Amino acid sequence: MKPKAAIVYLAPKESMNRFEVFLYSLELMEKHFNQRFGYPVVIFHEDLPEAKMEQIRSTFSSEFYFEKLVDFLELPTHLNIEKVKRWLQGKDGGRLSAQGLGYRQMCRFYSHGLLFHPALHAYDYYWRFDDDSYLTHPVNFDPIETLEKQGCVYGFRSLMREDPKRTEGQGLKEIMTLTRKFARKNRLPLKHLRPFSDWLGRSNGKQYYTNFEINKLSFWRNNTLFKEYISLLEHADGFYKYRWGDALTRTLACSIFLKPQQIHHFTTIGYRHNYHAAVTDSVDIHYFIPDEIDRSASVVQELGAFHIPGDA
CA distance 209 to 156: 7
Q: Tell me if 141 sits within 8 A of 32, measured CB to CB.
A: no
pLDDT at 166 over 60: no
295: alpha, beta or left, given left = phi > 0 and alpha = psi -120 to 50?
A: alpha
Rounded to an integer, what distance in angstroms lies between the CA atom of residue 294 and that of residue 252? 35
Q: What pLDDT digit, counting tens, does each position of 97-122 carry?
A: 767 888 999 999 999 999 999 999 99
Give the chain's mean pLDDT.
86
pLDDT at res. 309? 31
Q: 5-160+208-222+263-305 — its CATH code?
A: 3.90.550.10
Section 287-297 average pLDDT: 40
Domain map of the chain by residue range? 5-160+208-222+263-305
Query: What is the mean pLDDT of the segment spanning 163-186?
Result: 81
Question: With bands split at pLDDT 50, 70 and 90, how would you rate the model's confidence at 277?
Answer: low
Residue 234 to residue 244: CA distance in whole angstroms: 11
pLDDT in tens, 30-83: 999 999 999 999 999 999 999 999 999 999 999 999 999 988 778 999 998 999
Contact (CB, 8 A) for 135 and 212 = no
pLDDT band at 281 (very low <50, low <70, confident <90, very high): low
pLDDT of the residue at 292: 35
CB 69 within 8 A of CB 11: no
| Contact present, 129 and 271 (Cβ < 8 Å) | no
Residue 189 corresponds to which amino acid? P
Say which residue, 218 or 284, is predicted with more confidence.
Answer: 218
Rounded to whole angstroms, the maximal C-alpha distance in the chain is: 54
Beta strands at 41-45 and 5-10: parallel, antiparallel or unpaired: parallel
127-58-305 Cα angle (round to 5): 60
Q: What is the pLDDT of residue 300?
A: 37
Is the pLDDT confidence value at 148 over 90?
yes
Q: How many Cα atoms within 13 Å fall on the side-chain side of residue 262?
A: 12
pLDDT of residue 257: 98
135 sits in which H/E element: strand 133-135
Query: How many other C-beta atoms can be found within 10 angstroms of the C-beta atom of residue 243?
Result: 24
Residue 302 has pLDDT above 60, yes or no: no
**What pTM, to 2 d.p., does this model score?**
0.88
Strand order in the sheet with 5-10: 64-68, 41-45, 5-10, 125-129, 212-216, 154-156, 263-265
